Structure 1
Amino acid sequence: MGILLIVRQVPFALGMAGDLDTPVGNMPFSLRALTAFAVATVSLDLLASWETRALRRFRLVRLVPAPLAVVLLGIAATLLLDMLSPSLASPAEHRVALPELASIAALSAAIKSADLGPNFAQLLNPDIWRVALTLAVVGSLETLLSLEAVEQIDPKRRPTLPDRELKAQGVGNLIAGAIGGLPITSVIVRSSANVNAGAQSRVSAIVHGILLLVSVFALTGLINQIPLASLAAILIHTGIKLAKPSLFLSVAKQGPGAFAPFIATIIGVLAVDLLFGIALGLAVVVLMVACANLRGPVMFAQHDDHYLPSFRKDVSFVGKVKVKHYLRQIPDRSAVIIDTTRADYIDHDVRDLIDAFVVDARGRGITVEIRQQPHHAKERNGRWLFRNLTAR
């Protein structure tokens, strides 16, 4: 999430909003882009230094959140440049753009003219179902990831309730769709803003929504003066907090089993989107588990003519080849103890393989003892093979 925030906001911090598809040589980069870059740089410096002891000594710094200070700085820079040097000021496409409603009557007229009701005729449109499924999956995944990220930045490390959050999101999306609203989901930006502002309960989300509603209607003109570079700096700073270098080091120390899916997910998210990145990470995990089961589902010990195949926690069908290879190496007139007491799951193909080995051992003079958990024997449905018996 943090890296995705940073990557998506860097173009706005460089003054390239709306120009991402333009060749670099034809890009109107000049002074206005440098202004956006300067605003973003100063904003990042302010965000980084706002929590230092040198500034925390001042009462005003302790009262005003750092993101609000950055927004006010951006508005001041925009208004000042508009008056003194319009050629350096951020153009309209590089600022927040909210529609202005002069009065309640204008709002009422806008609502009446808009087609807000659901169009049930579109239920037969297959594209609607495809988009709806995509929004549901991506929105749910983003909510779960945001909850995990919020838990990491919460000073008290309070646990969240994913089930309740997803239920509330589903009900909210039903209501939003019925009145013509956009789909809603939990996002890390507003959640981190609440945490950084010292929020202690869910009331902060309600207050946050009320403040947004009032601001959209009462402060539209002022909000439209906020340069996108200032907002980009806030989001980049949030992304840096979420994607600390220490996080990469801690995951790397856990070994390839944790680091490989971690890197695969990051690459997928950056290259395509969030859903693809998560799917790629899961695919890497499944592949690594399959390879691990194929490589080492059983340990094979030998002392003279005594052999001890010892099964580990899970033995899936992919381990059948390795088990078969081990059993074929056992010579005639040997003593074999097959230990499955540490195996929580043994695939039926592997069990059948052991059954066949026990039958074959009778004619080869091999003594076989099978040690297993009681529930494994019950799963054989009364068959006489693969029980805690000795075959001679």
Structure 2
Amino acid sequence: MFKTIKSDLPASIVVFFVALPLCLGIALASGAPLFSGIIAGIVGGIVVGSLSGSKIGVSGPAAGLAAIVLTSIGSLGGYQNFLVAVVLGGIIQVVFGFLKAGVIGYYFPSSVIKGMLTGIGIIIILKQIPHFFGYDAEPEGADSFVETSGENTFSAILNIMDNITLGSTVIGLIGLAILLLWDKVLSKKGKIFKLIQGPLVAVVVGIIFFALTQSNTLLAVDQSHLVSVPVPEDAASFFGQFSFPNFSAITNPEVWLVAFTIALVASLETLLCVEATDKIDPSKNVTPTNRELLAQGAGNIFSGLIGGLPITQVIVRSSANIQSGGRSKLSTIIHGFLLLISVILIPRLLNMVPLSVLAAILFIVGFKLAKPKMFKQMYLMGWKQFVPFIVTVFGIVFIDLLWGIGLGLSVGIVVVLLKSYQNSHFLHIEDNSNGNHSIKMTLAEEVTFFNKGAILKELDSLPRDTKLEFNILKTRYLDNDIIEILEDFLFKAKDRNIDIKLVSKRGIVENPSSFIEFFKERPKSSLSLS
């Protein structure tokens, strides 16, 4: 794990600066103590990061749970009663893991996952625009269209004109310029610019700008536009920020209902994030989903016991980790320790960081998730891919994350049902090896995203030095999700010395360099191979 520390350490610093305001903002939006968000971020980094099988996923408090937390604290009679539900929710997640419920994550089509990534990217940009200009009516980390302040995403943007803060805007623009210069120019000039990340430089410049302009009435950044970490006066006041569950409330049936809701929603968000982060991981790692549920459950148990918010794997921090060069779970763990050390040693320094600089960092993260060319790519794949994708994007932007994914999945299922009925004999395997590891896989006539989990399992179970014949002579419909699985498998086949022979109506191809290239001549409106 420490072999990649040169990449993981700079990435962890970026994730730390992204995570810090989100942890605080989600706690504020949840109606919970601010420190509870920091606790969840620390536990998500150190505990979940250590136990998880994901190399690049980052866990912490999630905006998607904020509404549940806000209503539950009131209905259960206080935050300490709510913590009991968090602990129980973690236990239920552990049970989900032992029951191997992680397989659910494989049943979300690629078009919905790409729509989720794009929608989250757009919502990050839209939500950070007010913070960039110094209008902070809404807490960091909110992701629903209707905001807790009573505004919606677009009305908050329209109200910027009457609430622009010059100091926040100036340092936001400076920070954005630094990030773009670092990303487009300096990072290609020398190793020092890769070791020292642009976001760290932007934050340091932001602190210096705040310190130098405090006496300038025109450019001064008000305290309300800065990061706001709780500052303990001594060790006793620091430990006094921790809360503990009131286990006498465990007999309340509503506590169990909230616990099951937390477990279900947190598990679903985690599995979706796992699928999404694996999709954009340049190393094409496959996260063991059942182990992830066990890790998340352990994290929620620990977080609940010491006063933290519920935890999930989160796409914003995970994508920031990937885009900053994180390569192993070390970056996740270090970011957790950075959160812990910083709130103990330098809370006053952190409270000098302008929110507009952090908004500039998130602009870059959001744009990389929602690049305009993605819309063109999905459109060219045909309506069966584009419609679920665009429905997911609009659902996330105009409602919230879970609604968007649910709508996209519903449309995806309807598209599949319109195309064909489910063929249960989708994969036939013959082992003609006689000890030589020679295996023939034959796909059926119709293969859809419902078959992702089984095909992925079979491919991952192939031993080294295998001769694999992949037969699609009878296949008339091959879903784009299956093609992407095969493409990712090519990446691993080279390392495992697996020779591939593709048998199709177009002929026999020995060790194809790309399945995507092989199938790209199919009609745009269909994945039909006939």
TM-score w.r.t. the length of structure 1 is 0.66
Tell me the equivalent position of 2:365: 238
Which one of 131, 138, 154 corresponds to residue 281 of structure 2?
154
SS at match of 2:284: coil
Q: Which residue of 1 aligns with 2:223?
A: 92
1:14/1:122 CA distance change after superposition, 3 Å: farther
Q: Tell me which residue corresponds to 1:218.
A: 345
Alignment partner, residue 171 of structure 1: 298
**In the alignment, which of 233, 243, 257 is matched to residue 102 of structure 1?**
233
Does the 8 Å contact 2:250/2:256 carry over to 1? no
Q: Is the 8 A contact 2:130 2:136 kept in 1?
A: yes
Is the partner of 1:195 in helix, strand or coil? helix
Matched, 1:51 2:183: yes
Q: C-alpha distance in 1, partners of 2:345/2:380?
A: 51
Q: Secondary structure at the match of 2:232?
A: coil
One-letter code aligned to 1:92: Q
Report the AA paired with residue 263 of structure 1.
Answer: I
Q: Distance in 1 between matches of 2:157 and 2:189?
A: 47
Q: Does 1:187 align with 2:328?
A: no
Counting only pairs closer than 5 Å after superposition, residues 9-20 of structure 1 correspond to structure 2 as 9-18=128-137
Match of 2:166 among 22, 26, 34: 34
Larger radius of gyration: 1
Whether the aligned pair in 1 keeps the contact of 2:232 and 2:238 (CA below 8 Å) is yes
User: Is 1:252–1:258's contact at 8 Å kept on the other side of the alignment?
Assistant: yes
- Cα deviation, 1:70-92, whole Å, max 9, x if unaligned, reads 21122122212213x14532222
Contact 1:12 1:232 in 2 (8 A): yes
Is the CA contact 1:96–1:226 (under 8 Å) kept in the aligned structure 2?
yes
Q: Is residue 414 of structure 2 the alignment partner of residue 287 of structure 1?
A: yes
> Contact 2:123–2:397 at 8 Å: present in 1 too?
yes
Larger displacement relative to structure 2 (145-154 or 266-275) = 145-154
Gaps of 5+ in 1: 295-311, 315-340, 345-392
How does 1:337-348 map onto structure 2 within 5 Å?
none
Aligned equivalents of 2:121, 2:160: Cα separation in 1: 29
**Retained in 2: the 8 A contact 1:138–1:274?**
no
What's the CA shift for 1:143? Answer: 2.4
CA–CA distance in structure 2, aligned partners of residues 37 and 208 of structure 1? 28
Q: CA deviation at 1:4?
A: 2.4
**Structure 1: distance between partners of 2:475 and 2:349:** 67
User: Aligned partners of 2:324 and 2:417: how far apart in 1?
Assistant: 45
SS class of match (1:51)? helix
The residue type paired with residue 7 of structure 1 is L
The CA deviation at 1:31 is: 7.9
* Preserved contact between residue 16 and residue 29 of structure 1 (Cα < 8 Å): no
Calculate the aligned-residue CA RMSD, in Å: 3.2
Which runs of structure 2 are paired with 1:308-347 in the superposition (5 Å)? 313=446
Partner of residue 262, structure 2: 135
CA distance in 1, matches of 2:308, 2:285: 31
CA deviation profile, 1:217-256 (whole Å, cap 9, x unmatched): 1110111111111111111210111111222222111111
Greater RCO (CA < 8 Å, at least 6 residues apart): 2
4+ residue stretches of structure 1 with deviation over 6 A? 22-28, 341-344
Q: Which residue of 2 aligns with 1:3?
A: 122
Matches of 1:170 and 1:207, distance apart in 2: 21
Structure 2 alignment gaps of length 5 or more: 1-119, 139-148, 422-444, 448-473, 478-530
Q: Distance in 1 between matches of 2:410 and 2:163?
A: 46
Q: Tell whether 2:202 aligns with 1:70.
A: yes
Name which of 370, 378, 383 aligns with 1:256. Answer: 383
> How many pairs does the alignment contain?
296
Contact 2:130 2:156 in 1 (8 A): no
SS in 1 for 2:312: coil
Helix, strand or coil for the counterpart of 1:50?
helix
Q: Which amino acid in 1 is paired with 2:236?
A: A
Distance in 2, matches of 1:181 and 1:24, equals 29
Deviation at 1:55, TM superposition (A): 5.8
Taking the aligned partners of 1:212 and 1:39, their CA distance within structure 2 comes to 24
Distance 2:251 2:355 in 1: 38
CA shift for structure 1 position 98: 0.8
Q: Distance in 2 between matches of 1:12 and 1:131?
A: 32
In the TM superposition, what is the alpha-carbon distance from 1:189 to its structure 2 partner? Answer: 3.4
Q: Which moved more, 1:116-125 or 1:8-17?
A: 116-125
The answer to which of 253-262 and 143-152 deviates more is: 143-152
Could you tell me which residue of structure 1 aligns to residue 441 of structure 2? none
Cα separation, partners in 2 of 1:278 and 1:120, compared to 1, 3 Å: farther
The residue identity in structure 2 corresponding to 1:78 is F
| Letter of the 1:124 counterpart | N
State the percentage of identical aligned residues.
37
Q: Is the 8 A contact 1:32 1:88 kept in 2?
A: no
How far apart, CA to CA, are the structure 2 residues paired with 1:148 and 1:181?
Answer: 26
Q: Please give the alpha-carbon distance, in whole angstroms, between the structure 1 residues aligned to 2:199 and 2:220.
A: 21
Aligned with 1:185: secondary structure? Answer: strand
Give the CA deviation at 1:210. 1.1
- 1:191 and 1:286, CA in 2 relative to 1: closer, same or farther beyond 3 A? closer
Partner of 2:126, secondary structure, is: helix
| One-letter amino acid of the structure 2 residue matched with residue 116 of structure 1 | F
Give 1:3's aligned amino acid: I
Give the Å deviation of 1:197: 4.3
* Counterpart-to-counterpart distance in 2, 1:199 and 1:264: 31
The equivalent residue for 1:208 is 335
Whether the 8 Å contact between 2:391 and 2:404 is mirrored in structure 1 is yes
